[in-house]
Structure formats: structure tokens, C-alpha cells
Structure 1
Amino acid sequence: MSTNHDNFDFIQSGQRVIEIEASAALALKERIDDNFKKACQLILQCKGRVIVTGMGKSGHVGNKIAATLASTGTPAFFVHPGEASHGDLGMITGDDVVIGISNSGKTEEVLNIVPLIKRKGAPLISMAGDAKSMLATQADVHLDISVKEEACSLGLAPTASTTATLVMGDALAVALLEARGFTADDFALSHPGGSLGRRLLLLVEHIMHVGDKIPLIKQGVTISRALLEMSSKGLGMTGILNDNDELVGIFTDGDLRRMLDQGMDIQTTMIEDVMSKNPKTIHPHILAVEALNIMDKSKITALMVVDNNKPVGALNMHDLLRAGVV
């Protein structure tokens, strides 16, 4: 083995790998056909779970495919084919659908459990690179994951073939997700932890300022009074109420800067003359991520939270940052 790497073109080698693997993935587009549709229909009709199995690198990819299916609305898990032959086959029932992965279609550990899968009555979907292989011909539906060449210059290490397998698995998962009408809320139920869970599950009411911490003033006061309220509450705004305690406007730091540029007197100018009428608001039971979307689209940094047009809370971009929504 040579150890002189001084003149080796690492950039060219890396780019070649990406080109080969990209081509292998793109070639799959022509194979999204009736077999792909049948595979999706089998899974949608499944009363049990999708069981993914594969050996070696195919097994590693299969594990990822099972995880992606499970997190996008298709209950699934991975079963190692070697362990299946020693008891784990009991995890598979006739109500399940099995996805068997083997680039050659001849992997002994996978083929050994095919007759038992058939005996249980579970439909078998094969993902193989050889349509004439034992795995492909024994399957109820075959998905072609063959590649023209591996990215490995020796043609030995599974590279382009594992990429193609993963892409086909993602195509299945997303097609099923869309067919089920799977939503962001559904996705959140599978991902409650970490920043993803916070973004998808946190409601406005969980992070808004309430009670005396809400910046509010009544109509009929001067801008100087509004500034005192804004300064004491520290949210960069204040809501303006009518006599029925309904929100009729908002005054922000930005409004103040524009007013000062026009030379208005904060001691004599009334708040209703400079407030923004019909301000953007949000309901307390809406996802916090929606508050972020409203702020982004409207180019604002704070929102009043209202219920039946009466303020029940307030929040700004800093609150979203602290909660991990941004």
C-alpha cells in the first residue's frame, strides 16, 4: 500500500464519487413505476408494521429506512436477518409487510427467512439490484435499485448502491407520508424531544407574557405615557385598548423612531394619532412557530396575543429565541 499522498488529487476523487452517486440516484426516477405504486399500496393496506431487513451495509441502510418510515407515519422497525433465524422471526406476523434489501438479491441470511415470511402470509417487497435474483423473483413486488457502477474505484465497497437504496427508501416514505395526509403536528408527536419538538409542539400560551407583564395602555393618553409602559415591560411595544378593553392598536419602538423623525412632540401627541391600527395578532393556542412565521412575513419583532379581540398575552422575538423556536 502506497503511503505517498503528496501528489494525490483528493478534490478530483471526491467530485467523481459525488457525480457517480448523483447519477445512480437520478436513474431511479425512471423506476418509480407501477411496481413502486404497488409497493406503496401494500404498505398503506398493511394492518401491522413494516419490517425492514438486510445484511451488512444493506442492513445499515435498512435501519435508516425503517426509522424514516416510522417518523413519517408508517409504523416500522428493522429486524436483523441473522437474528431472525434465531428467534426474532417471531416479531413478524401475517399482518405485516416485509421489505427485504440485498444489492445482489442473493444474500444468504435474507434468503433463509423468505420461505418463513411467505408461510406467515406477510407480503414481501424486495429492494435488489438484480431483477432475476432469488429475492426479487420471490417477492410480491420488486423495486429495482441497480446501479451502473459503484463509486469505489475498486468496484467493491457498496457506495452508489447504498445511496440508491436509501433514496428509494426515502421515496417510499415521502410518497406514503403525502398519501396519508401526514401533517407537521403528526410529525411532532414522533419528535417531542430537542429543538424539533420545541418548534413543532410549543404553543404561544407556553411562552407569552401574561397579567401585569403585558404592556397595555388606554386610548386618550400621550406618547410619553406609552413610552413609560414600554420601558417598564421591556417588550419594545405596547397595546392600546378602547373603553371595552379591546385591542385597537399597537405602538412599537419602530413607530417611535418614525414619529421622532417627523418632529412630533411626545408630551402633546396622543397615542391614537400615531398607533398602528389593526395590528398583527395571534391566538394563545396557536403553535409558537406560527408566531415566528407571522413576524418573519410581516417584518415585525413582537405580537400581541388576543382572545375575542382582548389581549391575554404578549411576546417578542427574544421569547421565541429563549424557547428554542428560532
Structure 2
Amino acid sequence: MASGSGAYPTNITNQEGPSLHGPFPYISLVFKLTSTLIIISMASLVCVTIKKTKRLHRPHNILVANVMIADVMLALWSLIPASIMYIAFAAGTENFINCSLLNFTYHPVIAYHTTFIMISIDKVVAIGFPFKYKRIMNQHVVTGMICISWLLALAISVHILFTKSGHEVPEYGVCLSEGIDFLKAILTYAIPIFMEAVITTLLNIYLAIKAYQVRKQVQKETRLSGATNQVEALQQKRRQIRKHMKPILTLLIILLGNSFITLAFIILYILGRVLLAGTVYDSIMEYVVKPNIIFLIPFFHPIVYGIHFKQIREPMMNMILRCYNRCTQNSAVP
């Protein structure tokens, strides 16, 4: 499952171990290491920018920082157990990483998906209750929302630690599951992801309708009475809605990107299973592509928020330029 499950379906022949050897395990490990370093660097840069820029100390951006933290944790917790399995296999020692621990490390997936729901709720409150927004979305509420996202992730995933499912393949640092075990993995990870997509989409549709209604109301009042206090109040509300539209559009890009990555993987995987079963392509998808697809989504998040989202991009670029100029001046002093 491309969205982050660590349990993968396989056929009975895979119980004997992978038939794909050579450089492929090392290619998979190098990809994990490289992706993790990039994710940590980019997500940390977004978090530091939010922390050091006072005007970014708002509920939406604090929730974005929580997404970045979940991305870093997912990358690290996906890399470390897999690396231990690689090392144990290469050294010829007994592997002590089991499927229960390996699958549990993917619970940050649930944390960042629930955080996306929180971001949507924040925007609904901002547009639906503009004058009460600061009082409703105070520091304690935002902290509570972040705690809830992680508690939900742990509550949904903790049973995995006490459930033996699938079998380990130390050569590739993965856990393969089939039948009822694969169904459990789908229920554990797919349902929260589906709920996040549905809730976030509905909330964004509501916001788009709200923005359209205010716009039509402004036009109607302007035609009837010209410039009045009521029109000015509506114009102010319209400006507030437009200010919050950029974060909403950014969140939609995130959702579309996540969905595209997941659907592309599913199509390629099913085609390989149906049309090219038993071939090298099938083995590459099973042991190389599928375990590593999880790194693409946390790689995608900091790119969108660090490049597309102007509110973070501009102070981040200024911070990088200041750091570069400071380093250049220090190197020129001697």
C-alpha cells in the first residue's frame, strides 16, 4: 500500500525468500538513505522557518510543522529497522526485527493524515467565525489537536505490536504479508487515509461555496446601495476568505499529489501482478519499489510547503540567503 503500510501482499512462493539478488538490495538501501537525508533536510528547514518567523506563529503553520515532524519520523522509523535487517543479513547474524515492530513504525502515516483534517478544520473556523477565530483556535486548542493526531495514530497502530503477521525478508529489510494479514494492514492504514480524504474534500468544498456566496452577496449589495458599511464589512470578509484560500489550495495539491502517487503505484503493481507475474519486473515491484514508495509522500510534503506555499517560501529563502551571506563574510574575514 503506497500510503505507508509496512505489510505487503505476496504469493506462497515468496515464503522461500526473494529470487531477486545482485545489486538490488543495495540499490534499495541507498535509496532509503538518500531519501531520508533529503526529507530530514527539507522538513527541518520548513520547521526552522516557521519557528524563527514570528508572523508564521499561527495555528495553520504550527500544524504544518507537525506534518513535517511526522514526515521525518516516518522516514527515520522506516529506515532504521530496515537498515538493522540489512546489516544482520550481511553479517550473517540472527535477525531480531520482526514484522510487528516493522509494521508499527509506520504509524506516523496516520498522524500526518489526521493533521491534514485538523488543518481543514482550522480553515473552516477561520472563514466561518472570522471574529471569534483567535479565541477559538488558541494555543491550548492547537496543542490539543496535535496531541490528538498522535494519540489516534498510536491507538490505531498499537495492536500491531502484539500481533504476529507476515514474515521477514532481512535481505531487503521488509515484511511480507498475505491473506488476512494483508486485510488487517489495509484496515489499519487505509481507513484513516480514506476518512481524511473525504472529510478534507468536503470541508474544502464548503469553503469554496462560502467564498462564492460572500462574493455574490458583495455584488448584490453594491448594486443596491453602493458603498455602505455593510458592503465594506462584506468586502473585509471576502478579503479574509481570499487570505485563507492559498493554504486551502496548498492542502488540495497535497491531497492530489498523495492520491496520484498511490494510484500510480497501484496501477503499476497490479499490471505487474496480472501481466508479468514471475518475471524480474514482478520481483522488482515486490522487493524494491513497494517498500520504498513510502518515502515519496513525505518527500512530496516539504517540497509543496517549502516551494509552492508563498507564506513559508519567502521567509525560508530570506533565511537561506542570510545564512549564505554570513558564511561568505566569515570565510572572507581571514
Q: TM-score higher than 0.5 here?
A: no
TM-score (norm 2): 0.25
Greater radius of gyration (CA): 1
TM-score (norm 1): 0.26
